[in-house]
Amino acid sequence: GFLGYTGYTIYLLRTPSEQEEADPSKKTLVILGMCPSIGTAEYLLTKIGTGWGAVSLLKKLDTENYNVIVISPRNFFLFTPLLPSCTTGTIEHRSIMEPVRNILRHKKATVKYYEAEATKIDYQKKVVYINDDSEIKGDISSTEVPFDMLVVGVGAENATFGIPGVREHSCFLKEVGDAQQIRKRIMDCVETASFKDQSPEERKRLLHMVVVGGGPTGVEFAGELQDFFEQDLKKWVPEIVDSFHVTLVEALPNVLPMFSKQLIDYTEKSFKEESITIRTKTMVKNVTDKTIEAEFTRPDGTKEKEILPYGLLVWATGNALRPVVKDLMSQIPAQKDSRRGLAVNEYLVVNGTENIWAVGDCAIANYAPTAQVASQEGAFLARLFNSLAKTETINAELANLSTEQAKATGEERTQALNNIKALQRQLRRVKQIGPFEYSHQGSLAYIGHDKAVADISWLSGNIASGGTVTYWFWKSAYVNMCFSTRNRMLVLVDWVKSYIFGRDVSRE
Ligand code: FAD
Ligand code: NAI
């Protein structure tokens, strides 16, 4: 029975049904950042981006109501919560990627997708300018896409605060390419440190792995890296045992500021046991190819300059605005006081516009820039757009019925009146979409050595837990949240593979 069910599910996934053609009379909805856009009949809905916000919108949107266009330079959705595990090969990166083409092909009506970057949004002209930034280009690689409605879900860039040397010398951890680069560099450092006649100081420098930023990205990566060392590297390259070291640098007095005090203490204690050094109150000011210059604030408030030599530097200090978002903000007077992203109202409409919505990390709606927020915002917009479309259909039907009713007599007239009342009731129900309300499910982070921390919202209270049981909760929660059955199976296989054979230490 189970095998039959699994087989049937896979068959359905592999054989999408026929799709309705776009109806040019609909509005065009453009979705930027792998959000979906809705088509061109009455409305042209365009969506920019293929991240958490955009995909969640696309998943729930009734695409037959709009002409949807999705624009994103990345033709896949990335399940970011498991990205730190790809830096050491615990999970292979393709296991957490879902092709946009698969997602779109399973929608009821066709959705157009352009693999391109939105370079400029002209909100008055209602046009998005797009550019094919990939290696292969056709005769046309730049063009414009008009929209009736636009959803901006382009996410954010890595913040560097203009600190010299960061872009040139460090790795970030946001995209698949970043995780691949880190994986390669870890092994490069290990092999270079083992090179013939390398001095002990140089070995130590090469094997000093520094992570800047004690938010969840930095903490999860530091934990994964130490696991890799303890569980695999130590075994296959025993000569590095005395020199390999992971340091986490954080400007604030503690790591994981969004977690409860108890879990912060637990994380700091666990890192100590795992031999990961945490350097709090240490602000990085400059980066060169081999060293980090930082300023440590002593308990009495005086500052001390420090130089930390490193082999690998991973920079995880949070988010910054993307240029396309910055440019859009500069065009809209109502956005002039907004600094961290597009200010939106309670329906996620970009303040100062009527037909542009923003979701996820590029929108400022007073929530943290997390996948949880982005996906709830995307789902909310899908409901809102579905309801808008239904309202229009019902209004059109009502107009027809009113004309019919005016002409009808006797039985027919009573019937038409009843139909009108039923439609009016339906309309009231459909229109009942309140403003967006975020429901916080909690925060979860892996901290290494088969331990995780969790602040879970439960019956209007909070449960804070840390340890191995929480780690199993973390695992099952994330495998459940993976985008598709295919992703879930691949992640499970990767975990089993790493457990049985260990991680692969070859440098690609
Ligand atoms: P993104 O998911 O970043 O997607 C943006 C999309 O826009 C991408 O497809 C991108 O290619 C596209 N794009 C970029 N520029 C353009 C352009 N100019 N034109 C068109 N498209 C463009 N959050 C949690 O809640 N829980 C977690 O466990 C968690 N773990 C994380 C782990 C890591 C390593 C990282 C980096 C983040 C993690 N987050 C987590 C945060 C979460 O990933 C983000 O908050 C979330 O991705 C935001 O979604 P988004 O749709 O706004 O942007
Ligand atoms: P973050 O913004 O949460 O943390 C960055 C940290 O870097 C801050 O604590 C800051 O004080 C520090 N910092 C900044 N400049 C510095 C400097 N010059 N020197 C030293 N330290 C410096 O960033 P992160 O971790 O990338 O997360 C981004 C968003 O994604 C957050 O909203 C986070 O909640 C979310 N996320 C959630 C995860 C989870 O729930 N498990 C995992 C990863 C990210």
Using pLDDT thresholds of 50, 70 and 90, give the confidence band for residue 208. Answer: very high
Ligand 1 neighbourhood includes 174 CB (under 6 angstroms): yes
Task: Give the residue, 239 or 459, on which the prediction is more confident.
Answer: 239
User: Residue 112 corresponds to which tokens in the numbers above?
Assistant: 């157009």
CA distance 358 to 435: 14
Does the pLDDT of residue 429 top 90, yes or no? no
How far is ligand 1, taken at its centre, from the CA of residue 53, in Å?
8
Parallel, antiparallel or unpaired: strands 442-448 and 149-152: unpaired
Supply the pLDDT for residue 40.
Answer: 33
Using pLDDT thresholds of 50, 70 and 90, give the confidence band for residue 38. Answer: very low
Ligand 2 neighbourhood includes 284 CB (under 6 angstroms): yes
Ligand 2 neighbourhood includes 51 CB (under 6 angstroms): no
> What would the mean pLDDT of 375-400 be, rounded to a whole number?
92
Q: Lowest mean pLDDT of 14-18, 140-144, 367-371, 470-474, name the range.
A: 14-18
Is residue 371 helix, strand or coil? helix
- Distance set, CA 482 to CA 95, 370, 477 (Å): 10, 15, 9
pLDDT over 90 percentage in the chain = 80
Ligand 1 neighbourhood includes 72 CB (under 6 angstroms): yes
The ligand placed nearest to the CA atom of residue 211 is 2
How far is ligand 1, taken at its centre, from the CA of residue 155, in Å?
5
Supply the pLDDT for residue 48.
Answer: 67
Q: Lowest mean pLDDT of 326-340, 416-430, 474-488, name the range.
A: 416-430
Residue whose entry in the numeric block shows the structure tokens 């903000």:
329
The average confidence (pLDDT) of the chain is 93
- For the chain, the structural domain boundaries read 166-318, 389-431
Under DSSP, the state recorded for 364 is: E
Supply the pLDDT for residue 44.
Answer: 54
- Distance set, CA 366 to CA 316, 324, 436 (Å): 22, 21, 12
Helix/strand/coil (H/E/C) assignment for every residue in 431-446: HCCCCCCCCCCEEEEE
**Residue 318 phi/psi, 5° resolution?**
95, -160
Supply the pLDDT for residue 56.
Answer: 94
CB atoms within 10 A of CB 379: 18
For a mutational test of ligand 2's pocket, the pick from 280, 317, 362, 443, i.e. the residue with the most ligand atoms closer than 8 A to its C-beta, is: 317
> What would the mean pLDDT of 78-88 be, rounded to a whole number?
98
Ligand 1 neighbourhood includes 89 CB (under 6 angstroms): no
> What would the mean pLDDT of 412-430 be, rounded to a whole number?
86
pLDDT over 70 percentage in the chain = 97
Residue 360 CA: nearest ligand 1 atom is 52
Single-letter amino acid, residue 469 = V
> What would the mean pLDDT of 23-44 be, rounded to a whole number?
65
How far is ligand 1, taken at its centre, from the CA of residue 364, in Å?
14
The ligand placed nearest to the CA atom of residue 173 is 1
Ligand 1 neighbourhood includes 49 CB (under 6 angstroms): yes
> What would the mean pLDDT of 17-25 be, rounded to a whole number?
83
How far is ligand 1, taken at its centre, from the CA of residue 374, in Å?
8
The per-residue pLDDT for range 291-343, each reduced to its tens digit, is 999 999 999 999 999 999 999 999 999 999 999 999 999 999 999 999 999 99
Does the pLDDT of residue 2 top 80, yes or no? no
- Distance set, CA 487 to CA 77, 79, 276, 482 (Å): 11, 9, 31, 6
> What would the mean pLDDT of 476-498 be, rounded to a whole number?
96
Task: Give the residue, 460 or 105, on which the prediction is more confident.
Answer: 105
* pTM for the model: 0.94
Supply the pLDDT for residue 25.
Answer: 85
155 CB burial (10 A radius; 0-12, 13-18, 19+): buried
Residue 478 CA: nearest ligand 1 atom is 28
Does the pLDDT of residue 41 top 60, yes or no? no
Query: Whose C-alpha lies nearest to ligand 2, atom 28?
Result: 318
Ligand 1 neighbourhood includes 341 CB (under 6 angstroms): no
Supply the pLDDT for residue 37.
Answer: 34
Residue 339 CB partners (closer than 8 Å, separation 6+) = none
> What would the mean pLDDT of 430-453 be, rounded to a whole number?
92
Does the pLDDT of residue 480 top 70, yes or no? yes
CA distance 243 to 469: 32
Vertex 108 angle, CA 102 and 112, to 5°:
60
CB atoms within 10 A of CB 320: 17
Q: Which of 112, 140, 93, 142 is nearest to 46 (CA)?
A: 112
The ligand placed nearest to the CA atom of residue 165 is 2
Ligand 1 neighbourhood includes 352 CB (under 6 angstroms): no
> What would the mean pLDDT of 278-300 be, rounded to a whole number?
98
Supply the pLDDT for residue 22.
Answer: 75
Is residue 453 helix, strand or coil? strand
CA distance 431 to 434: 9
Report the interhelical angle of 2-14 vs 485-501 (nearest 10°): 120
How far is ligand 2, taken at its centre, from the CA of residue 476, in Å?
24
E-only strand ranges, 160-287: 208-212, 245-249, 277-279, 282-287
Supply the pLDDT for residue 292.
Answer: 98
The ligand placed nearest to the CA atom of residue 164 is 2
Supply the pLDDT for residue 42.
Answer: 40
CATH of domain 166-318: 3.50.50.100
Task: Give the residue, 450 or 457, on which the prediction is more confident.
Answer: 450
